[in-house]
Amino acid sequence: MKTLISFLLALVLVPASFAQRTSFLQPAHLTCEYQSNPLGIDTDTPRLGWNFETAAKDQYQSAYEIEVRQEGGPSTVWSTGKVISNRNTQIDYKGEPLRSFTRYYWKVRTYHEHDPPSSWSSEAWFETAMLKPSDWRAKWIDNGSTLPARDEDFYKDDPMPLFRKTLNVQKKLASARLYISGLGYYEAYLNEKKIGDHVLDPGWTTYKKEALYVVHDITPTLKAGPNVIGIMLGNGWWDPLPLKLFGRFNLRTVQQTGRPCVKAEIHLNYTDGTSDVIGTDASWQTANGPIVRNNVYLGEHYDARLEIKGWNGLKPSGNAWKNASLAEGPAGALHAQMQPPIRITRTLKPTRILEIKPGVYIADMGQNFAGVARITVKGKKGTRVSLRYGEALLPDGTLNYLTTVAGQLKALWNMNGGPGAPATAWQEDSYTLKGEGTETWSPRFTFHGFRYVEITGWPGKPTVDNIEGLRMNADLTRNGEFACSNAMFNKIHEAIQWTFLSNVFSVQSDCPGREKMGYGADMVVTADAFMYNFDMSTFYTKAVRDFANEQRPGGGITETAPYTGIADKGLGDESGPLGWQLGFPYLQEQLYEFYGDERIIATQYDNVVRQLAFLQSKAIDGLFHWDISDHVAIDPKPEALSASAFYYHHALLAAKFAGILKKPEDSVKYAKLASQTRQRIAEKYLVPHTGRFDNGTQSAQLFALWYDLSPEKDKTWAVLMSEFARHKDHVASGIFGVKMMFDVLRQSGQNEVAYRIANQKDYPGWGFMLNEGATTLWESWEYPDNAPSQNHPMFGSIDEWFYRSLLGINPLAPGFRKIQIKPQPAGDLTWAKGSYTSIQGKIVSDWKKEENRFLLTVSIPANTRGEVWVPLTPGGDLKENGTIIGKEGMSKHVRYVDGYGVVEISSGDYTFEATTHN
């Protein structure tokens, strides 16, 4: 927070004087809109970028040159010439207007001062999709069914529609594409083979504002002559049940909904330059499929007896087909889906299957995760196998469903989910056998959070070979690695990976079972940790757009996006509480800090201004007095203090964004608002001359220190330390306090305290969770066996500390153009190693402590510079690659700050050794 409104807008790369310059750079890893060779972008100003692969030192770019050509068109549509710039990311295309449905190839070469240019890079490409709404020729279609008249009728069998169309390929194909939006979810087939490997496509959005379409290359699957495309639809979030989550919130009343529908186009491009377009219309055929019920919460029920053999091939069985009906579809604009698709990313085998009662079996997958089960079964026609899911077992060995039922709707609590809703909103799937030998099945249009599967109705006795767990998640690129000498920390890190991947189903959810919603605060406290571990560039870009799509008429931002009706302690007009509204601007800031993305800030600036104006209109004497605050803190929450601190944060971000966009009047205005708010908070909540804020809890003191609110900082620190002592170096704060705790302790040189708290093995803490058998993080510090979930990312902010403190990897300039490596060894740690693959390239920190010496190996990507902090005792020597570069008071290369030797370096690989003389 100290550097929130102090940031760099331009960088000049200055090599360290002891680094030797080598050859010029060769660009590699070319990207467009953060992706390698994206198929189907819908922006006419895509951003290009690249980085470099070299271990040589002192490598930086002084200029670049880009050439873009159109496939089958003019030789060049953009040639930049030599551009004097060290920028290698976020470069806007500024060539001739791009055409829809066109592939463009591009290459780049770079310059290093007066050296000759590099060789041209290998060509990369990007392909446009629909650049304007009028590019669509297809129509929305459905099967002509109508919505049930009564809420209770939604819970009855409602077979999902199938669609098919025969198309003829009569010329030699050059390429073929499928552009498809199937709502809520779709699976597409060509000649009986599934197209692509995505599941739960497309992503969830606010349909009245936006729906997503996906582009598939179907060239290899098409054959000369007749071909058949088949499409199966599921309800997804577009046609949810009228289930009143928590007895109050009905998705159908707050979102645009409708019957499952699809809009799709097949583009056939022939080698002779001609093309055909086949779009969905009333000529397509439709029939009922074997999925008789499906819901994102309650599960999927499949009756294999209703399958139509060959439904997606040339010769379907039966005569149940009829013409499709034209449908209204969603009101929102169609946009290309740019975030990573959801895929099956891992298959798990049960560690055991137990028969707990006659005919009732429990399969233990050994790991809590999100996805579905897949079964292989053989039995008589009409046999129905049911699967129920849970995160835990009861003492008698039966399934504990209480932490995963939808919206806390459980008979035990007598909570009413509305007419027709089950008394207990189980996660449950079922499969009815067709009786034709061995049958393999898994649900298509739902997902669950679970470790255990209760199996009933099985013909015979299931074995571990009959069931698998299919982990599903947005297929994020893993960018981070971490390991250290503390085995428990490594286990915490692993549990966080499973937790995070359980909660990325096109939105970052709170949990994969009970709610599945995108809460703003959960993103605020974990965004940094997510971004150190995974490439979140396009995922969080969508999240920002989701919040913008839900902005209320008055300017407020909702608690969740897409909006689900929840507005706990909000500010009216269906807006959320301040800490949860913070998700909208905070994610923009992190996209800027991690990826150098100014466009997201420019695009959303007016919405941020509207949001802040709304907050200003709701303030009482310049402050706020209610908020969800530090959720699940053990001590009483400082509700009013936190609410006003969040307001201060909103003002700081508006000031920062105005500065980035070179709007000085706005920047000054919002900085003044922030300053006034900070002063008011201190005047109201600081007990004079004591350093104590509000109720003096860990949470209160952490808010004061993280936001730099205290004019009595030393005393405020003393109160915080006394609170840590009162809790015997255990955490007592909630989701915000935990993130703030590790930040302020790291930044203030108090990492030993952070280590002691993180290393606790009893209640409350991460070690306690592990000792109680957790394989993912919980929603509460206590063991959750009734209400809180056992798969919640919000305490995963400790992983940020692993990267920022134990590895010491931090950005000193947006987009990691300048990098700090400052490992902070603590406790009994003897080594830590890891990396972060930034938008500039891979950053490595690998250290170990030995008697009388500290070894640190670092790697700094080309075209960046670094600041390395090596722990160094007074009088010790500092070597780089075996050569002494620093002796306290005797080196122009090394600064000495608070027990560190600080070295400015250029790019490259370095090994530092700090030795102590006894």
Candidates 2.60.420.10, 3.90.550.10, 3.40.50.2300, 3.40.1350.10; CATH matching 819-915: 2.60.420.10
Q: Give SS3 for 682.
A: helix
* β-pair type (399-400, 360-378): unpaired
> How does DSSP classify residue 218?
-
Cα 404 to Cα 745: distance, rounded to the nearest angstrom: 35
Q: State how far the Cα of 459 lies from the Cα of 385, in Å rounded to an integer.
A: 8
Q: Residue 74 above 80 pLDDT?
A: no
Report residue 72's pLDDT band, with 50, 70 and 90 as the boundaries.
Answer: confident
Asked whether 234 and 294 are in contact (CB, 8 A), the reply is yes
Q: What is the pLDDT of residues 337-379, one digit of tens each?
A: 999 999 999 999 999 999 999 999 999 999 999 999 999 999 9
With 0-12 / 13-18 / 19 or more C-beta atoms within 10 angstroms meaning exposed / middle / buried, residue 220 is exposed
Each residue's pLDDT tens digit, 662-687? 999 999 999 999 999 999 999 999 99
Structure tokens at 95: 């060539």
* pLDDT for res 99: 96
- The percentage of the chain sitting over the pLDDT mark of 70, rounded to a whole number, equals 97
| 176-203: average pLDDT | 98
Strands 428-432, 299-303: pairing is parallel
- Give the span between the Cα atoms of 517 and 560, in whole angstroms: 7
Quick one: CA dihedral 149, 154, 156, 160, positive or negative? positive
**pLDDT tens, position by position, 693-751:** 999 999 999 999 999 999 999 999 999 999 999 999 999 999 999 999 999 999 999 99
Helix and strand numbers, DSSP H then E, in the chain: 15, 50
- pLDDT band of residue 635 (cuts 50, 70, 90) is very high
pLDDT at 887: 65
Quick one: what percent of the chain has pLDDT higher than 90?
A: 91
Three-class DSSP labels, 552-580: CCCCCCCCECCCCCCCCCCCCCCCCCHHH
pLDDT score of 161: 98
Flag whether pLDDT at 691 surpasses 60. Answer: yes
- Evaluate if residue 515 carries a pLDDT over 60: yes
Domain 136-343 in CATH 2.60.120.260? The answer is yes
Q: Which residues contact 368 (CB under 8 A, 6 or more apart)?
A: 391, 449, 450, 451, 498, 502, 774, 775, 776, 790, 791
Q: What CA–CA distances, in Å, run from 35 to 29, 50, 430, 599, 702? A: 10, 11, 38, 16, 38
* Biggest CA-to-CA distance, the chain: 91
pLDDT of residue 892: 58
The pLDDT tens digits for 140-187 are: 999 999 999 999 999 999 999 999 999 999 999 999 999 999 999 999
Where do the structural domains in the chain lie, given as residue ranges? Answer: 27-128, 136-343, 819-915
DSSP state of 728: T
- Convert the pLDDT of each residue in 396-446 to its tens digit: 999 999 999 999 998 888 889 999 999 999 999 999 999 999 999 999 999
Nearest to 413 by CA among 423, 404, 421: 423
- Convert the pLDDT of each residue in 13-30 to its tens digit: 333 333 344 445 899 999
Q: What is the fold of 27-128?
A: Immunoglobulin-like (2.60.40)
Identify whether the C-beta of residue 143 lies closer than 8 Å to the C-beta of residue 232.
no
The Cα–Cα gap between 841 and 837 comes to 5
pTM (2 decimals)? 0.96
Residue 12 has pLDDT above 50, yes or no: no
Task: Give the residue-averaged pLDDT of 794-802.
Answer: 99
Ranked by mean pLDDT, the top range of 4-18, 54-68, 120-134, 772-786 is 120-134
The per-residue pLDDT of the chain, averaged, comes to 95
The number of residues making up the chain comes to 918
Is the pLDDT confidence value at 794 over 80? yes
- Using one digit for the tens of pLDDT, what is the confidence trace for 502-514? 999 999 999 999 9
pLDDT tens across 317-331, in order? 888 999 999 999 999
- Summarised one tens digit per residue, pLDDT across range 868-902 is 999 998 888 999 999 998 765 445 578 999 999 99
Task: Give 64's strand partners.
Answer: 83, 110
